[in-house]
Amino acid sequence: MKASKIAYKPLGMILGAATGAMAGALFKQVWKLIGHDDDAPDATDADRGWQEILIAAALQGAIYAAVKAAVDRSGATAVHRLTGAWPG
């Protein structure tokens, strides 16, 4: 196994754990700006309509994917700088 892959494993695990928390916090702030409520609707929320629930879910997924990509790319870049090789 390449040194860059070995170096990236623990970093990737740490960053992966933080990704969910960062994405959740960002989504909460974005929803407060565009939503009518402080809390996004749950899929089983009887008081919310399909449109609001699906918009919230799509937005949450997009934010998570973007944060994950940014975090993964940052981690790979850091490993590349440290080892001189791109992990993967």
What's the structural domain count of the chain? 1
Residue 65 within any structural domain of the chain:
yes
How many helices (H) does the chain have, and how many strands (E)?
Answer: 2, 0
The pLDDT of residue 63 is 97
In this prediction the pTM is 0.80
Q: For residue 62, which phi and psi values (nearest 5 degrees)?
A: -65, -40
Is 40 a member of any domain? yes
Residue 88 domain-assigned (yes or no): no
In tens, the pLDDT along 27-74 reads: 999 999 987 788 899 999 999 999 999 999 999 999 999 999 998 898
Given a cut of 60, whether residue 24 has pLDDT beyond it is yes
More confident residue, 19 or 7: 19
**Residue 4 above 70 pLDDT?**
no
Chain position carrying tokens 């790319």: 73
Rg over CA atoms, the chain: 17
State the pLDDT at residue 43.
93
Residue 64 sits in which domain range? Answer: 3-83
